[in-house]
Structure 1
Amino acid sequence: MAQHIWKIPSRPPHDFFLCLDVDSYFDHEHQPEELFEQGFTRPVPLSDRDVLVTIFFNGDVDSPSFTIRAHESLTDAEQAEADSILRRILGTDLDVTPLYDQAGNDPVLAGPLRELYGLKRISRANIFEDAVNRIIRTQIKHKPTARKMVHEVRNAYGTRLESGNRVIPAWPRPQRLVSADPRAMKQYGLSLRKGEYLTELAHELLHGRLAGGGGPEPDTHAAEGVANDSKQSAADSLKETYNRLELMPPEALYESLVSIRGIGPTTAQDLILFRNRSDGWFASHKQKGQEKAVRRWIILAYGGDPDHCSEEAFRRMIKPWQGFEAAALEFLYVNWVLSEKKQAQHL
């Protein structure tokens, strides 16, 4: 099979291999310990079709680049589109260099910044993939089971792509999930409510609040030629929606996301932090006087009392994070993941 190969440079420093210890970055089909040699294979959702690519990191933290091998030939336009999607997934455009200077003496961040030099998060291809992944995995303590459930939904509603002697399912698109029966998703381990969350999220992206006023509902009686034009128009409109959500100020996007059933404060903040940008926003969310979500975790890390921390005090805590809130939190998260793994090894 013909392959299409190109390179994507990344803003330094970038050490992709630091991500291999973070299970949440990867999916059911991935074996992180094998990615060093075999590469990172995943589907890429182009406008007209899904394709598989395998990604290889050059291992140079200060001059980082990725070699991309598409499993089939691409047009120039398709390569450009895949390039843009992969830059989001890998975080190659993220420039976190100022954070090393701003937070180099921070009592909480200084250590992780040194020990995880070059860390950048791995996201999914777009906010819909990130949200589907997050919604399905939420409240499932056994992570391999959660990954398997996500894989089963992908297998049922996404394109099945061949890779050697195995099949890797693409992620379902909103156009496919919007008409899915939530009850049918119970066979993949999802509750009826989670199935409803996914179909409603797809509707919000295509025709609702996230679509910026909504697009027209599909005409099921359209002639074939008109239907094809409508399909392309819908794909273009969805791409514009994804681009707009990437550029939305964090506070505004947070308010839009938490208005959607199935997306709570923590999930909304996670979706903001996985965008192709380094800034973020940590909303206060109190229940019965107790601070919840990401802000609680940050305040505890700084030794504060999350239930009695003023807005002014919180802003002082994270002043060294300014403009790089998403990147800063990822350093704390990965540092926590590694600490948990070390503790588990000594049990």
Structure 2
Amino acid sequence: MAEILNTMDCWQEVNGDIIIDLPGDFDIKANLGYLERNKNECMFEVENEIITRVIVVGDTRTLVQIHVNKRNQMIVQFLKDSRPLRQSDREEVVRYIREWFDFDRDLTPFYEMAKADPLLKGPIQEFSGLRLIGVPDLFEALCWGILGQQINLAFAYTLKRQFVEKFGDSIEWNGKKYWIFPSFEQIAKLTPEDLTDIKMTFKKSEYIIGIAQLMVSGELSKEKLLRMGSLNEAEKSLVKIRGIGPWTANYVLMRCLRYTSAFPIDDVGLHNAIKHLTGSDKKPVREELFNLSLRWEKWQAYATFYLWRVLY
């Protein structure tokens, strides 16, 4: 896994707001471009370069607004009296945001590699400053991966919204609802028939409920997967679970467990981006993709994420 920097001390509190110092290569516009790519997103709102969302810390639900000032600092403001009283909880909010934007990773080696790569040199110029935006919650990441199987991105967003609005909770502020992803404890109690209003397959409903039940029992957790210590071990553990194949496993390894070597080799969006950039009339074959992954060693996840941005 690429190097993680210890930067949890690079923040302060001023008049109740949190101020996070950002990496020099971070560009908020590049990241907002990704966050705004689908208007059907239900887990946060972006308006006038301000992100509004709920961040859950233990039993505490905080509604925050996030923006970046001209000094390249991220300002986190708590809305609706939701500022956590305990400093440890506020630290968890900072930790969540840092993980969401992958702030604590040194991207210098990735950019050096990508500058010399025929496929990546264009995307890293166009989207310079983009971070691999994550899904820190394991259950949410697994659900999003399963919802997205074998369908286009627009329909996946529709399914996610239906799922969240039916089973999730929300905080209302200024006449709008800001949603909280359903907990695995809640979903574990359901049957596939409870999900029939959502236009997903019966199998996907079974998969999501089964994963929720594994998390309730403690057999599956983010901590357990991270303790495995290697991408291969974590991938093997994930693909043993019903409904999780190599694509979903690598999606979760990229966006939740933060393995920069994760590579969803069968991803249609990745294939389409490569086809577009090479001007080919055919999608790349598996051998070509494997050779590319060797070229991008240790940074396959970031390479994939930047290539996704070419088309999405």
Q: What TM-score does the superposition give when structure 2 sets the normalisation length? A: 0.79
* Residue among 222, 227, 233 paired with 1:252: 233
Matched, 1:324 2:299: yes
Between 189-198 and 18-27, the greater mean CA deviation after superposition: 18-27
Deviation at 1:65, TM superposition (A): 2.8
CA contact (8 A) 2:270 2:308 kept: no
Decide whether aligned partners of structure 1 residues 8 and 26 sit closer, same or farther in structure 2, where only a CA change above 3 A counts: farther
Higher CA-based Rg: 1
What are the superposed Cα offsets for residues 94-134 of structure 1, whole Å, 9 maximum, x if unpaired? 22111111232111111212222111122223222122223
- For 1:164-243, list aligned pairs within 5 A: 164-207=174-217, 209-210=219-220, 241-243=221-223
Change (3 A) 1:258 1:66: same
Q: CA separation in 1, counterparts of 2:308 and 2:153?
A: 19
Post-superposition Cα deviations, 1:261-298, rounded to whole Å, max 9, x if no partner, equal 222222211111113646223377xxxxxxx4479839
Please give the TM-score of this superposition, normalised by the length of structure 1: 0.72
Q: Give 1:235's aligned residue.
A: none
2:52 is the alignment partner of 1:77: no
Shift of 1:200: 0.8
**Of 275, 287, 304, which residue of structure 2 is paired with 1:309?**
287
1:1-347 alignment runs, 5 A limit: 4-22=16-34, 23=37, 27-28=41-42, 32=46, 34-36=47-49, 39-58=50-69, 64-71=72-79, 72-74=82-84, 75-141=86-152, 143=154, 145-207=155-217, 209-210=219-220, 241-246=221-226, 248-275=229-256, 277=258, 279-282=260-263, 292-293=266-267, 297=271, 307=285, 309=287, 314-315=290-291, 317-337=292-312
Question: Residue 28 of structure 1 contacts residue 148 of structure 1 at CA under 8 Å; is this kept in 2?
Answer: no
Q: Answer 1 or 2: which has greater helix percent.
A: 1
Matched residue count: 288
Deviation at 1:326, TM superposition (A): 1.5
Query: Structure 1's 246 and 334: CA in aligned 2 closer, same or farther, altered over 3 A?
Result: farther
Structure 2's unaligned 5+ residue stretches are 1-14
Structure 2 counterpart SS, 1:309? helix
Displacement of 1:308: 6.4
CA change 1:124–1:293 in 2 (3 A) is closer
Task: State the 1:35 CA deviation.
Answer: 4.3
Question: Measured at CA, do residues 138 and 318 of structure 1 come closer, stay the same or move farther in structure 2, by a change above 3 Å?
Answer: closer
CA distance in 1, matches of 2:126, 2:224: 35
Cα distance change on mapping 1:47 and 1:154 into 2, 3 Å: same
Percent same amino acid at aligned positions?
A: 23
Contact 1:96 1:327 in 2 (8 A): no
* 2:7 equivalent in structure 1: none
RMSD (Å) for aligned C-alpha atoms: 3.1
